Structure 1
Amino acid sequence: MKYFSKAMIGLDLTEMDDILIEKTIVFLKFLGIDKCYFVHVAKNLAIPQEILDSHPELLAPSDESIEAMITEKLKNFNFPDHIEIEVFAEEGENQLETFLRWARIKDVDLVIMGRKETLEGNGSLAKGIAKKAPCSILMLQEKRPPGLPKKIMVPTDFSDHTELIYNFSERICDDLHAELVPVHLYQVPHGYSKTGKTFEEFSEIMKENANKDFKKFLHKNNHRDLDCHFVLNEDHDEGKLLLDEAHKIGADMILLGSRGRTKSAAILLGSVAEKLVMVNNVLPMLIFKKKGETVGFFEALFRI
């Protein structure tokens, strides 16, 4: 099944590029990608001295030199010949704005970014893109071995918003013959003690209620019967709780959806998803966003 046609892959001219290219190749066929834009965005495209020392033949203008380096790297990785490729280097004072502008210009369906675990870098560009990109984002982590997922965790809250990502998750899991594991965070209300019940007793009540909501969600939307994992949130960081649960269940990918402030702002991440992006640099993560937002709204994102 074809999920995405055009993908933009962000490169930073570090060792992470090799890792990202190798892992991207694994996903190309499954995701249905037939065109890849490889882009490097920097405030200054001057080639670092250490690269010039290693490649004294680089005498062309820096953007052309960088594009040539990336193109040669793709050849070394035997990037599939049937995939159309375009490579470009761009200079921009605001790297995030420049990258997102090109994502809109090229009308890409998917942005692929790397997340570093031990390599130098804070991942601020990748996090910003995850928050504001006008399309879906696939984040591939440094240390995770290349490969398609077999157990996919989907954070869910049983809302209408969840329906979109749930449908997408089921399609992906069917195609991959992978296991789909819904996960829901629930809390005990602060006034529980007034009921005369203990924290543990009211926690069980909230869990049972959440399970009923989950069953209603499945029945209302004609989904298959699955077991949802319920995680008690005792005022902890939701992102870390979800990541911990992913490790506990042995998930090898997290799939989540964007959640806008309004229906017209559906390309923005919700607060829980944003926290998960912040803490997760160990598991591949696909953030599904529905394309088709207006240019005016997209431009307004840069003022947020």
Structure 2
Amino acid sequence: MKFFSKVMIGLDLTEMDEILIEKTVVFLKFWGVEKCYFVHVAKSLAIPDEILREYPDLLAAGDESVEAIMMNKIKSKAFPDSIEIEVFAEEGDHPLDTVLRWAKIKDVDLIVMGRKETLKGTGALANGVAKKAPCSVMLLQEKRPAGLPKKIMVPTDFSEHNHMIYKFGERIADQLKAQLVPVHIYQVPHGYSKTGKSYEEFAEIMKANAKKDFEAFVAQHDHPELECDFVLDEGEDVGELLLKEAMKLGVDMFIMGSRGRTKSAAILLGSTAEKVIKANNVLPMLIFKKKGETMGFFDALFRL
């Protein structure tokens, strides 16, 4: 089964590149990748002295190009010969716009970006790509060991669009023989005290109602036997709450999606996904977007 035929991988000429390439190689066969585009975008392509010192062989050969350095990194990680590779470096004042334009030009199915934990970097480009890319995005973390996931969390809100993300999660889990973990965040409404019920009593009422909603939701899928993990939100940041629950459950990947309330909004992330991206720099995260729903809105963004 092919999930993503064409993949774009963002490199930044730091040691994160080797980490990202090594982690991506693990997924290539599973994804069904046929072609990989490696892209580096910077305001200036002048190569820093520390990079030049790191590659003396390139200097000796008289080749100081950024693309040569990128290719050297790829070859050092035994990238599969069966996959076609294209490497390009671009210079521009707006790296995010450039990456997104290339994703559209190359019609890629997935963009892979790194998330740093201890290495220097703001993560602004990766976050921007995750939010606005016209295709699915995977964020791979610096410190997490390379490997395919065995336990995958899917935040579940029982919405119509959530069916698409949940179905994709089932496909991924089935192919990997991994466990899918639906998680639903529920809250106690502010006016609960007017009902004469205590906070704890009304929390149980909300949880019971959420369980009924999940039963109706999951009955429409291939694995109606799955149980949902219900988490009470008592005012904590939802991203932090989901990450804390993921660590508690031993989850090793998130799958989330875009808003999807309308086709024009499908390119943008919902607030929960954005909060998880902000909170999470330790677990891989796959943000699933249906390409056909995003391209029209993506074109409109660049006409503004």
TM-score, normalised via structure 1 length: 0.95
Cα separation, 2, equivalents of 1:292 and 1:97: 20
- The answer to whether the 8 A contact 2:257-2:287 is kept is yes
Q: Secondary structure at the match of 2:81?
A: coil
Quote the residue 1:108 is aligned against: 108
Cα separation, 2, equivalents of 1:217 and 1:293: 23
Mapping for residues 157-176 of structure 1, pairs under 5 Å: 157-176=157-176
TM-score, normalised via structure 2 length: 0.95
Cα separation, 2, equivalents of 1:100 and 1:60: 32
Q: Secondary structure at the match of 1:87?
A: strand
Mapping for residues 252-267 of structure 1, pairs under 5 Å: 252-260=252-260, 262-267=262-267
Q: Secondary structure at the match of 2:298?
A: helix
Which sits farther off after the overlay, 245-254 or 286-295? 286-295
Q: Secondary structure at the match of 2:292?
A: coil
Off by >6 Å, runs of 4+ in structure 1: 59-62
Cα separation, 1, equivalents of 2:197 and 2:8: 53
Q: 1:303 to 1:193 in 2, by over 3 A?
A: farther
Quote the residue 1:130 is aligned against: 130
Q: 1:219 to 1:54 in 2, by over 3 A?
A: closer
Q: Is there any run of 5+ residues in structure 2 with no aligned partner, and where?
A: none
Computed over aligned residues only, the root mean square deviation of the Cα atoms, in angstroms, reads 1.7
Cα separation, 1, equivalents of 2:157 and 2:44: 43
Quote the residue 2:219 is aligned against: 219
What is the number of equivalent residue pairs in this alignment?
302
Q: 1:302 to 1:197 in 2, by over 3 A?
A: farther
- The answer to whether the 8 A contact 2:41-2:95 is kept is yes
1:189 aligned to 2:189? yes
Q: Deviations over 1:169-224 (max 9, x none)?
A: 11111110100000000000000000111100000000000000000112245642
- The answer to whether the 8 A contact 1:110-1:137 is kept is yes
Q: 1:34 to 1:245 in 2, by over 3 A?
A: same
Identity %: 70
Quote the residue 1:235 is aligned against: 235
Cα separation, 2, equivalents of 1:232 and 1:302: 40
- The answer to whether the 8 A contact 1:34-1:83 is kept is yes
Q: 1:297 to 1:60 in 2, by over 3 A?
A: farther
